Structure 1
Amino acid sequence: MTQPSALVIPAGVHAGLKAHLFPGDGCEAAAILLCSRSPGVRKRLLAQRLIPVPHGDCATRTPDYISWPGRYLEDAIDRGEDEGLSVVLVHSHPGGFFAFSHVDNESDAVTVRALHAAYEADHGSAIMMPSGAIRARMYRDGIATDLDLVIVPGDDILTYWADRDENQRAPVAFTSEMTAQNSRLSVLVIGASGTGSPTIEQLLRLGFGRVVGVEYDFTEFKNLNRILNTTIADAKTEVPKVQVMLRAAESHRGQGVFVPVERSILDREAVLAGADCDFILCCVDTLEARYIADLMGSAFLMPIIDLGVVIPTRQASAKTVIADVCGRVDYVYPGGSTLADRGVYTPEALEAEYLKLNAPDVHREKVKEGYIKGMVEEAPSVISLNMRTSAAAVNELLARLYPFRHEHNSGYARTFFSLAAAEEDHTAEGKFKRGDDVELATGDREPLLGLPALGA
């Protein structure tokens, strides 16, 4: 699959852009986006800053024409040059014409040439419709090329395709039209074990055009009861888990759809491979991997769906009994509350996990805990719980791309279910306090994710 070129705009920036470009007077308005880039091979621009051009400062504003002072372009150059950010000039088409006009082409011939004269980057222009739909194009050697996709990740994930008209609506969920759009999108799955393997399987069957699986571990006999598509032969020869996923994927999707990355997500090569994707599904049981996923979601403007399962126990009559059987799914979008904001991990917990993994003598006397807290269980029989949670996570992604809930998606930032109590609870995005997100849309800035260990 040739991955589509894309401009990613956080929902908050998109809302501010739309409010400025359509003030209610029916005339064109203008703004500037400063954009970083994802560090992978795919052309993927990330809207980092919005510079509105004040309506009153424009020389002319009519329903089909705008003229604005050059000092705002100079301001964008001054801000963008130091960091090598791309400049995208945006204006509105109040009449709903979802294409660049002859006047737009003439204007770009002057302004984009001035941008490239100032410094080299992927500069371009964009138009916005009253609906919020955007079409963008970039220039190289004076030639304009449309970006295939403008994506706005928020409570809903909005997708605007250059080859569709301005009345773009998301396909109906669970239809062949949904599958067709999925074929143009890509997903990073971190982890290919208990919850990762059914997640990968579902994404492939749902038609996603590229699924990148990151997992460093190999198949063992204790895995055979909960990792899909593993065999006795795989356990005997210790086949890497991602190679098992690749074999299964090619059997029904052919070559080139599933991309195995036999590394830890803590490695630079794994981060680079994942940075080309549109979304992250985090199917891991370590806090450090969730921390990296959190940073990637912010830096590369990728929505994250993080899932986890746990079976707490208690003591009753000198026996260990099941207290609950739980699953959790968190949906995180760029600019919203992060996994850290939600308490999924803390600095103290990360430090404790590091000690456990790297200084085992510190924890030698403690019980080794896996799925079932308080019990040593090397081969827990949890495939039904894993698949229940994995299905909830994949359906969460579909609900954001192809809204089907009776209620607004903002009420489902977190879903928590208890099989023991037969209950399911939801937490709204507004219930979580957002902290400062210094990595938002930093893109390919070195060191990657602000971590020296991931530097070039």
Structure 2
Amino acid sequence: MTTASLTIQGQHLNYLRKLLLTADGKERAAYILCGRAVIDADPWDGQPHHKFISCEVISVPEDEIISSSAEHITWKTDSFVWALQAAQAKNLTAALVHSHPEGNDEFSTQDDTNEPDLIQLAQNRNGSDTQLLSVILTPDGNLVGRLWVSPQEVIPLRMIRVVGDSIRLHYPNRGLGVSPPAFQRQALAFGEALNQDLSMLRVGVIGCGGTGSAIAMLLPKMGIRNIALFDRDIVEDTNLNRLHGARQPDADAMTPKIEAVARSLVELGLGVRVKTYQAWIGEAECRDALKSCDVVFCCTDDHAGRLMLNRFAYYYATPVFDMGLAIEVSQGETPNFQALDGRVTVLAPAPGHACLLCREVINPVIARDEALKRTNPAEYERRKAEAYVIGEGNPSPAVVLFTTEVAIMAMQEFVHRLQGFRGEDGSTAHRVRKFHLMSDRKPAATPNPNCPVCGSVGVQWWGRGDVVPFLNQVE
């Protein structure tokens, strides 16, 4: 059976609240044009899944409203037909959103009567495979939705996510769950709702080295049950000092990192379901699992992988917590730290937030060279010999104390965005911790207007989901 969910960009929800929750207490309506991620098989339940993502909000003009009260709204279909036309032209899916000012978070009998006619109209105009989303917004901020596949078939939305400076989840029976014994003391600090939210999420970890393995070990201890691990490397002697979950026999047997980490997660006995992918994150075999994730932690040290995830966060409105650790020491018998910087950057479609390219975290030239090495090793070596590509050089310093603390920084930002324990303005899109100076900094950055990801040029792609080629990148 196909399941469905919806992600709404935070800026879009703010606009919807202004349009629909009016002072007169009457119902109002609007449309959302949505991109879509088609997942052939969800890694954790095996079912096909359609994830819709908000791209654009369209208001219903006041002069089209025929009548409205606290319990109903009736309007002309002219704007609906226009929304269908726009959706078809942009290869998007239309969603109808209306308010229930009295707080009822269930579809009314009138909704059940009217919406089959609307999906029939949509299919008559745009084709028999056209789908229609319907969403209710209540004054307390609750969201409930369903997907009309035909006038006779409707699918309740499994989840509605709101993604921006915070992450808010809406799903059936939220807040009614009871924490397992292992997480009851966490509930005393954060409340039962956070534990339930964490248990519902699908989380991806890209890179299972020092930082990624630390993230992976923290996830089930926080209550995350559905985890996907992506890494193509094996355990070696040189990373045993910081790769959580790995043992000497793993290095001797050249065990894939994902297997060593997954084994440790399962052995915790906390009911975690781990899926593993021994491949570079940009490979086609990783896409269904990646698109299935509600949140992604990027712990890879390659620029090409970051370049892809940088776009992914905006196209799929999926929060990506990107991490890095820079250690620079002076030469000499006793090295001195010149830099000992841990970084956490949160990527999500939000106005004014700069992406990794605009923050100069990614070097496109190095990303190009990494892609060449991966796809054509012989040509890479030839160009390297002729100094056309950047060589590997000496290995960078790495210390488990700091890789693990960067992971904790990212987890704290993640939990705050779900629960808000730092207060209303506590979210930080870019934090740098200078361990040797005992200080945190929040370097500002302005999106380049011509940036194809976060600038005004790239905004048209926020929430577009599946496009060909994938993420508009040359394959």
Structures share a fold, TM > 0.5? yes
Confirm or deny that 1:360 pairs with 2:367. no
- Map residues 35-434 of structure 1 onto 2, 5 A cutoff: 35-40=34-39, 41=41, 42-118=49-125, 119=127, 120-141=129-150, 142-164=152-174, 174-175=190-191, 177-253=193-269, 257-315=273-331, 320-336=335-351, 337=353, 338-348=355-365, 350-351=367-368, 358=380, 359-361=383-385, 362=387, 368-372=393-397, 380=398, 382-406=399-423, 408-410=425-427, 412-427=428-443, 434=454
Question: What is the CA deviation profile of residues 236-283 of structure 1, one whole-angstrom value per residue up to 9, with x for unaligned ones?
Answer: 111111111221122124777111011001211113321101011100
Match in the other structure for 1:377: none
2:415 maps to a residue whose letter is: L
2:210 is paired with a residue of what secondary structure?
coil
1:208 maps to a residue whose letter is: I
2:27 is paired with a residue of what secondary structure?
coil
- C-alpha distance in structure 1 between counterparts of 2:363 and 2:390, whole Å: 24
- C-alpha distance in structure 2 between counterparts of 1:349 and 1:334, whole Å: 25
- C-alpha distance in structure 2 between counterparts of 1:274 and 1:154, whole Å: 19
1:39 shift after superposition: 3.2
Question: What is the CA deviation profile of residues 28-82 of structure 1, one whole-angstrom value per residue up to 9, with x for unaligned ones?
Answer: 1111112121132333111122111112321112222211121111112212224
1:185 shift after superposition: 0.5
Confirm or deny that 1:450 pairs with 2:472. yes
The alpha-carbon distance between structure 1 residues 266 and 313, as it changes in their structure 2 partners (threshold 3 A), is: same
- C-alpha distance in structure 1 between counterparts of 2:436 and 2:57, whole Å: 48
1:432 shift after superposition: 5.7
2:393 maps to a residue whose letter is: K
The answer (yes or no) to whether the contact 1:35–1:45 under 8 Å persists in 2 is: yes
1:130 is paired with a residue of what secondary structure?
coil
2:406 is paired with a residue of what secondary structure?
helix
2:22 is paired with a residue of what secondary structure?
coil
2:13 is paired with a residue of what secondary structure?
helix
The alpha-carbon distance between structure 1 residues 292 and 365, as it changes in their structure 2 partners (threshold 3 A), is: closer
The alpha-carbon distance between structure 1 residues 110 and 3, as it changes in their structure 2 partners (threshold 3 A), is: closer
Match in the other structure for 1:435: 455
- C-alpha distance in structure 2 between counterparts of 1:419 and 1:212, whole Å: 30
2:6 maps to a residue whose letter is: L
1:260 is paired with a residue of what secondary structure?
strand
Deviates more, 1:213-222 or 1:38-47: 38-47
The alpha-carbon distance between structure 1 residues 3 and 123, as it changes in their structure 2 partners (threshold 3 A), is: closer
1:423 maps to a residue whose letter is: S
- C-alpha distance in structure 2 between counterparts of 1:54 and 1:415, whole Å: 42
2:164 maps to a residue whose letter is: G
The answer (yes or no) to whether the contact 1:4–1:184 under 8 Å persists in 2 is: no
- C-alpha distance in structure 2 between counterparts of 1:243 and 1:408, whole Å: 39
- C-alpha distance in structure 2 between counterparts of 1:367 and 1:87, whole Å: 48
2:140 is paired with a residue of what secondary structure?
coil
- C-alpha distance in structure 2 between counterparts of 1:134 and 1:352, whole Å: 45
The answer (yes or no) to whether the contact 1:173–1:402 under 8 Å persists in 2 is: no
The alpha-carbon distance between structure 1 residues 177 and 61, as it changes in their structure 2 partners (threshold 3 A), is: closer
- C-alpha distance in structure 2 between counterparts of 1:333 and 1:229, whole Å: 30
- C-alpha distance in structure 1 between counterparts of 2:122 and 2:372, whole Å: 50
The answer (yes or no) to whether the contact 1:439–1:450 under 8 Å persists in 2 is: no
The answer (yes or no) to whether the contact 2:202–2:295 under 8 Å persists in 1 is: yes
Confirm or deny that 1:11 pairs with 2:33. no
> RMSD in angstroms over aligned alpha carbons?
2.7
Deviates more, 1:207-216 or 1:418-427: 418-427
1:213 shift after superposition: 0.9
The answer (yes or no) to whether the contact 2:5–2:50 under 8 Å persists in 1 is: yes
The answer (yes or no) to whether the contact 1:189–1:282 under 8 Å persists in 2 is: yes
Deviates more, 1:386-395 or 1:68-77: 68-77
- C-alpha distance in structure 2 between counterparts of 1:3 and 1:186, whole Å: 17
Match in the other structure for 2:451: none
Q: Which TM-score applies when normalising by structure 1? A: 0.88
1:418 maps to a residue whose letter is: K
Question: What is the CA deviation profile of residues 219-245 of structure 1, one whole-angstrom value per residue up to 9, with x for unaligned ones?
Answer: 111121111111221111111111112
- C-alpha distance in structure 1 between counterparts of 2:265 and 2:356, whole Å: 30
The alpha-carbon distance between structure 1 residues 321 and 145, as it changes in their structure 2 partners (threshold 3 A), is: same
The alpha-carbon distance between structure 1 residues 341 and 3, as it changes in their structure 2 partners (threshold 3 A), is: farther
The answer (yes or no) to whether the contact 1:90–1:125 under 8 Å persists in 2 is: yes
1:38 is paired with a residue of what secondary structure?
strand
Q: Which TM-score applies when normalising by structure 2? A: 0.85
The alpha-carbon distance between structure 1 residues 88 and 173, as it changes in their structure 2 partners (threshold 3 A), is: farther
- C-alpha distance in structure 1 between counterparts of 2:86 and 2:424, whole Å: 41
Of all paired residues, the percent bearing the same amino acid is 24
